[in-house]
Amino acid sequence: MGRAKTFLAYYNKIEKTLESLYTGPEEHMSFYELIQTLRRTNRQVAYFADELHEYRTLRNAIVHDTVGDMVIAEPCETVVVRIRKIHELLTKPALVMDLCKGQEVVSLTFTDSLQQVLSLIRDTGYSQFPVIDCKRVIGILTSHTAASYLADRMQGNELIIDKATVSDLFRVSDDKEDFMVIARTSTVYDVSVLIRKHPKVSMFIVTESGKPTQHLLGVLTAADFHRVYGMRN
């Protein structure tokens, strides 16, 4: 099958997917109308809307601009791969838990010592940790807070590490509330919307239904998300 035929096949599959997602009163809507309508309420469609409009233009060129049996507009291999990927992501959106598979969730409590925090930063390479108090997520502690706390306790060229705990660090933290608890059923598109709406959030903490009192299932930093999904995947 040539690239044009493959492209059209996936274009048609995407159109059927959009039609299945639409539940309004109109019996028939064009590809353009489906995108414009669904992008208002469907985060997956909204994420790919601009690309789909570009592919709609390419589809029209392939279908209508021909000389005999020859197709004038032949999509490149990159476009064919991309439209196949969009179809996959529209029909099977990735869940946030997919990004947390195999991950060990490391959390802190108020009674953990500063030494324990420093050891965790060294041993795990993590820079942010959920803080649990009375079985509830109450915030995050970052390596920035730990570094600032230590810097304030420099005496000349000597570093005085006292008996500080996470509770002490938490009191002086200016980024402890830069987190959000989300449900395990959240998709990567849900996270993308949350990041746009709440740019200060640096960590997403995953629980069963998004309640801070539930068991931690995974954590995802905004930086990690941008690295994986910052470019349209």
What is the identity of the amino acid at 133? Answer: D
Spatial strand order of the sheet with 128-133 comes to 108-109, 128-133, 136-142
Tell me whether strands 218-221 and 203-207 are parallel, antiparallel or unpaired: antiparallel
The region of weakest confidence among 10-24, 62-76, 202-216 is: 62-76
The answer to whether 53 and 33 are in contact (CB under 8 A) is no
pLDDT class for 154, splitting at 50, 70, 90? confident
Q: What's the pLDDT tens digit per position in 115-146?
A: 999 999 999 999 999 999 999 999 999 999 99
Q: Are 76 and 6 in contact (CB under 8 A)?
A: no
- Specify the pLDDT at position 233: 42
Cα separation, 62 vs 118, whole angstroms: 60
Long-range (24+ apart) CB contacts under 8 A made by 146-151 are 146/114, 146/117, 146/118, 146/121, 148/172, 149/114, 150/114
pLDDT category of residue 231 using cuts at 50, 70 and 90: very low
pTM score over 0.85: no
Specify whether the CB–CB gap between 63 and 8 falls below 8 A.
Answer: yes
**d(C-alpha 142, C-alpha 168), whole Å:** 13
